[in-house]
Structure 1
Amino acid sequence: MLAPHATAEPPPTPGASTAAAAPGADELTPVEVPAPTEKALRYYEGNMRLWAFHVAWSILVPAAIFFSGLSARIRDLARRIGRGWLPTVAIYLVLYLGLNAALDLPFDYYAGFVRQHAYGMSNQTFAKWLTDLVLGLGVDMLGAAAFGWVPFLLLARSPRRWWLYVAILWVPFLFFVVLIKPIWIDPLFNTFGPMKDPALERSILDLASRAGIEGGRVFEVAKRVDTNAMNAYVTGLGGTKRIVLWDTLIAGLGERELLVVMGHEMGHYVLGHVLRTILLSSLVMLLGLFLVDRVGRAVLAKFASRAGVHDLADVASVPLLALLIAVNGLLLGPIAMAYSRHQEHEADRFALDLTHANHSAGMAFAKLQRENLGNPRPGPIYTFFRASHPSIGDRIDFSNAYHPWADR
């Protein structure tokens, strides 16, 4: 699931009149879990090393910026330019994000451009890659300038309860992001258009109708310009609701396989996973920010003079908050990952209940593994800290075993 999904009507009951017809013998034929290629294993192992480096980097860089006093100097510069509390906060956040982007640039270039081309995972020109990077930074800066002052206002007005109020406000903020992302943000990075195959579009809309999703629109994204990987999702709320398929997915899967993938994405929408995810995110944030508050105050009590920051309400505390949030991510992130895997499994079950296409599901997962250089049985460290989905191997096994409509 690459984007939050909105709620809709309850899922159809397996075996009800809205379900697909009983499968033929071909859809009950098991799919063997493909062994990973040597290239895929190298890609997986390299990704794990890059992940470990990035975790350490995300802690060490803000620590250096904070404890060296650089953050306080950036705040002083922002104060001279802004000449007011709100402009100072906005300017500081823009400068801080720019500094981080500059420090991250060598890593981003290697991990996001050089390495992806070396493994045949990217088709981007350098100009397209750099444009997307700059656009992403611009969106982050605009969002920080527009909303970043809120936590610091709450820190100043309610220093003992700010973490509670931020967690509460996180809920409507995430709903706002889900609402605007499909129409204001996603088109900055991708070209969205109507489906080029009207018959396939009709099949997808028919499937959506059986799933209880009405009024959605289907968009085809020109992703081949960026990548050879395959994906699809359902996103948006109300009038921004849409079904999105990458052109690489359409080219790489047969129609029955593609419809199972779409059934999975529709399952996220129908099962109300966006609401559950936002609520869990807010609970995790509540706990995380409580810990940040307690540890942050202890750090400032000891290092305030060295850092030039004496209060968490000072915008110069941003790198301290950032490194504490990164540490909390390691501690609390596995909770979110485990729940995400549960939701993805629910969506797999929904897709099979809707389509009865077990063999097609297994084949789709096998093709996704091949095209995305996946490892069907990743190790426990990956699963615990990084896996938002069940492993491809587990998903194929489930596709082979789950067919209650055929067992009756």
Structure 2
Amino acid sequence: MKKIVLGSFTLFVVYAVLIWLYLFQWSDTSIPDALKGTSVDPATFMNERELVLAQEYSQIKDFLFFLSVPYEWLGFVLVLVLGFSRKFSKWAKDITKMSALQTAIYVFWLSLLLQVFTFPLDWISYKLSMAYNITTQSFTSWMKDMTIDFWISLIMMCLIVFVLYTLINKSPKRWWLYAWLLSIPFTLFITFIQPVVIDPLYNDFYPLKDKQLEEKILHLADEASIPTDHVYEVNMSEKTNSMNAYVTGIGANSRIVLWDTTLNKLSDNEILFIMAHEMGHYVKKHIYVGIASALVLSLVGLWMTKKLSDMIMRKWGTNLKVKSFQDVSSLPLILLLLSILTFAVSPATNLLSRHHEVQSDTYALELTEDKEAAVKTFQALSRSGLSQVNPPFLVKVFRYSHPTILERIEFMEEHNKEE
């Protein structure tokens, strides 16, 4: 146990040092000389203070991201080798003989412990955003959102874990396949109800107040053959100064949503470009492609989790304080493996997402025929979020679901020349 704990901490510290060196010492985030003075150059749309803040904020934020992932893995390892998982399982069995309640009790204590373990990094990220004026949310409001997150995750986890271990006990060899089959309707159901059930728990959504702007947006939607009666606005200015817009939901619950910060900071033409971009996601059916690709990856991931967990249990089950994989105390091992696999495949999923974003940018430019609005929009997004125009390679690969600002603006300029 001591070797595992010491080894895990040593690896984490070495990894943290290497990531710090990469982000703060080894990475070149300057733009190519040929692009200096152009619309891509942040010096043309940011003042000196904003340039410094964007560099500082991006580096620290990226460092925290790359720390948070293995930090979560470390938490799963410690919960196993220190015997917490086994104790939680024993407590649950001592309290009740009902398997559903045993699962709920176990998941509650495991979730609470992991929440406490990860809270320091969450709090540091919150304070960082406050310090750089990205977040405007009060600590009370932030804690309220974290509490909502905790209980929503707990409810879903209780259901998922109960079904999962029922399958593991009934079919030790093929549980992963049955779990995947059940995940299909569950994923579709959650995606369908999210806009009308889950999202309103965090913010207030309402039809766009500016009716003239809504009319322009609906005219664009009509040109794109998108059946919609409303564009939704959400009051994010209470929590952030950054901007965003997105498409969410499927079927009758599909929604195009604008943050009110976007409405307050951009001109109508810039907002119309953003809306055309989001319509591009709808027209190109990116939500359905995303769901399909996620389901394919989850099938492979569950199969690999089965194979890896069998191997780990044979070799190190005793060290992990797990008597049997069929016992719910093995859950941190499953979560650890799924987290590692998800991180490993994130470059591929981000690459697909960036491809979708390029398609939507192209669609928006062709629909609005307003390159100037597109360029100004990307510049404003970079400025409001203090984003690096040309982030380090690993940051782009593991973090960016959108092309970089440099790539998006340069694409707009080149696409316009081609036309």
TM-score by length of 1: 0.88
After superposition, the C-alpha distances for 1:8-29 in whole angstroms (9 at most, x for unaligned) are xxxxxxxxxxxxxxxxxxxxxx
Match of 1:281 in 2: 294
| Equivalent runs, 1:153-172 vs 2, <5 Å | 153-172=166-185
Counterpart secondary structure, 2:389: coil
Residue 267 (1) aligns with residue 275 (2): no
In structure 1, C-alpha distance between the alignment counterparts of 2:416 and 2:313, rounded to whole Å? 58
After superposition, the C-alpha distances for 1:273-305 in whole angstroms (9 at most, x for unaligned) are 111111111222222222221111111112323
In structure 2, C-alpha distance between the alignment counterparts of 1:56 and 1:369, rounded to whole Å? 28
In structure 1, C-alpha distance between the alignment counterparts of 2:217 and 2:177, rounded to whole Å? 42
Q: 1:63 aligns with which of 77, 92, 102?
A: 77
Identity between Structure 1 and Structure 2 (%) = 33
Match of 1:295 in 2: 308
Match of 1:76 in 2: 90
Counterpart secondary structure, 1:175: helix
The root-mean-square deviation of aligned C-alpha atoms, in Å, is 1.7
| Equivalent runs, 1:23-102 vs 2, <5 Å | 31-35=39-43, 37-102=51-116
Q: 2:357 aligns with which of 336, 344, 363?
A: 344
Which structure shows the higher helix fraction? 2
Q: In the alignment, is the contact (CA less than 8 A) between 1:359 and 1:400 conserved in 2?
A: no
Q: 1:243 aligns with which of 241, 252, 256?
A: 256
Q: Which amino acid in structure 2 is aligned with residue 34 of structure 1? A: P
Relative to structure 2, which stretch is displaced further, 31-40 or 58-67? 31-40
In structure 2, C-alpha distance between the alignment counterparts of 1:348 and 1:162, rounded to whole Å? 41
Relative to structure 2, which stretch is displaced further, 390-399 or 307-316? 307-316
In structure 2, C-alpha distance between the alignment counterparts of 1:335 and 1:169, rounded to whole Å? 25
Deviation at 1:155, TM superposition (A): 1.6
Q: In the alignment, is the contact (CA less than 8 A) between 1:216 and 1:242 conserved in 2?
A: no
Residue 392 (1) aligns with residue 400 (2): no
In structure 2, C-alpha distance between the alignment counterparts of 1:284 and 1:311, rounded to whole Å? 27
In structure 1, C-alpha distance between the alignment counterparts of 2:179 and 2:159, rounded to whole Å? 15
In structure 2, C-alpha distance between the alignment counterparts of 1:148 and 1:184, rounded to whole Å? 22
Q: In the alignment, is the contact (CA less than 8 A) between 1:82 and 1:88 conserved in 2?
A: yes
In structure 2, C-alpha distance between the alignment counterparts of 1:342 and 1:170, rounded to whole Å? 26
In structure 2, C-alpha distance between the alignment counterparts of 1:166 and 1:335, rounded to whole Å? 23
Match of 1:361 in 2: 374
| Equivalent runs, 1:118-157 vs 2, <5 Å | 118-157=131-170
Q: Which amino acid in structure 2 is aligned with residue 39 of structure 1? A: L
Match of 2:318 in 1: 305
- CA separation of 1:223 and 1:233: change in aligned 2, threshold 3 A: same
Deviation at 1:216, TM superposition (A): 4.2
Deviation at 1:189, TM superposition (A): 0.6
Q: In the alignment, is the contact (CA less than 8 A) between 1:33 and 1:366 conserved in 2?
A: no
Relative to structure 2, which stretch is displaced further, 36-45 or 306-315? 306-315
Relative to structure 2, which stretch is displaced further, 240-249 or 143-152? 143-152
Residue 219 (1) aligns with residue 227 (2): no
Match of 1:12 in 2: none
Gaps of 5+ in 2: 1-37
In structure 2, C-alpha distance between the alignment counterparts of 1:308 and 1:257, rounded to whole Å? 57
Residue 195 (1) aligns with residue 208 (2): yes
Deviation at 1:31, TM superposition (A): 3.6
In structure 2, C-alpha distance between the alignment counterparts of 1:81 and 1:359, rounded to whole Å? 65
In structure 2, C-alpha distance between the alignment counterparts of 1:336 and 1:154, rounded to whole Å? 28
Relative to structure 2, which stretch is displaced further, 71-80 or 297-306? 297-306
After superposition, the C-alpha distances for 1:90-137 in whole angstroms (9 at most, x for unaligned) are 22112211111111222211112x111100001111111111111111
- CA separation of 1:235 and 1:85: change in aligned 2, threshold 3 A: same
Deviation at 1:261, TM superposition (A): 0.7
In structure 2, C-alpha distance between the alignment counterparts of 1:33 and 1:172, rounded to whole Å? 46
In structure 2, C-alpha distance between the alignment counterparts of 1:267 and 1:313, rounded to whole Å? 46
In structure 1, C-alpha distance between the alignment counterparts of 2:172 and 2:370, rounded to whole Å? 55
Q: In the alignment, is the contact (CA less than 8 A) between 1:69 and 1:306 conserved in 2?
A: no
After superposition, the C-alpha distances for 1:228-278 in whole angstroms (9 at most, x for unaligned) are 000011222233222211110001111111111111111111111111111
Q: In the alignment, is the contact (CA less than 8 A) between 1:223 and 1:246 conserved in 2?
A: yes
- CA separation of 1:168 and 1:48: change in aligned 2, threshold 3 A: same
In structure 2, C-alpha distance between the alignment counterparts of 1:361 and 1:134, rounded to whole Å? 38
Match of 1:13 in 2: none
Deviation at 1:310, TM superposition (A): 3.1
Q: Which amino acid in structure 2 is aligned with residue 203 of structure 1? A: K
Q: 2:266 aligns with which of 253, 257, 261?
A: 253
In structure 1, C-alpha distance between the alignment counterparts of 2:95 and 2:361, rounded to whole Å? 53
Aligned length: 376
